[in-house]
Amino acid sequence: MGKFESKKTSRSLMAVATIALLATASCRAGGWVASIVGDVVGSKGDAACDRRYVSDVNEEPSGFCQEVIDTVAVSQIQDDCNDKHHSRAMEGRCPREGIIGGCKLSITNDDGSEVYDWYYDVRDLESSTGATFKSRVATQDDVRAQCADARRYEEGAEFVLP
C-alpha cells in the first residue's frame, strides 16, 4: 500500500506542478499579448489615399489625395482606399509636390482626427499617361469652389494651403 500511495502522491504533485507551470506560462504569454495590444490600441497615425493613381482600368482617377491626420483607423483607411477606390494607399500624409490647395473638411471624427483633400495640378500626369481625371482643378480659385460645394462637402470644408 505504501508504494501505491507514493505513486498517487507523486502523480498528484506532478499534476499540480504542470498546472502551475501552465498557469505561469499563460500569465506571461497573456501579459506579453496585453502589452502588445496596449501599445497598438489607442495609438494614432496618419493615412492617405492618393486618388490620382488607380489600379482598376474601369476607374477614372481624381486629381486629389485624401489625408487623415492623427487617426486610430490607419489600416481601415488604407483598406477602404484599396478596396473601394482602387487607389494608392499609404501610411503618412499625401505628397506635397504639385499641390494647388486643399479643403479641410469640417467633419468631427470620433477619434479626433482631421481630414484634408489636397488637389493637384495633374496636367503632367494627363499628358504622360493619357488618363482623363475627374475632380480636375487648375487654380486656387478652382479648389476654393470645390471646398464651397455643399454637394461634395455636406458638412462643409475650408480652403487651406499646404
At 50-90, the pLDDT tens digits run 999 999 888 899 999 999 999 999 999 999 999 999 999 99
Distances (CA, A) of 82 to 15, 68, 75, 87, 137: 52, 15, 11, 5, 24
How many whole angstroms separate alpha carbon 92 and alpha carbon 112? 17
**Domains in the chain: boundaries:** 1-41, 45-160
pLDDT exceeds 60 at position 23: no
**Per-residue model confidence (pLDDT) at position 64:** 96
For residues 131-159, average pLDDT: 94
**Per-residue model confidence (pLDDT) at position 72:** 97
At 94-130, the pLDDT tens digits run 999 999 999 999 998 999 999 999 999 999 999 998 8
Tell me the pLDDT band of 41, cut-offs 50, 70 and 90. low
pTM of the predicted structure, to 2 decimals: 0.72
**Per-residue model confidence (pLDDT) at position 38:** 34
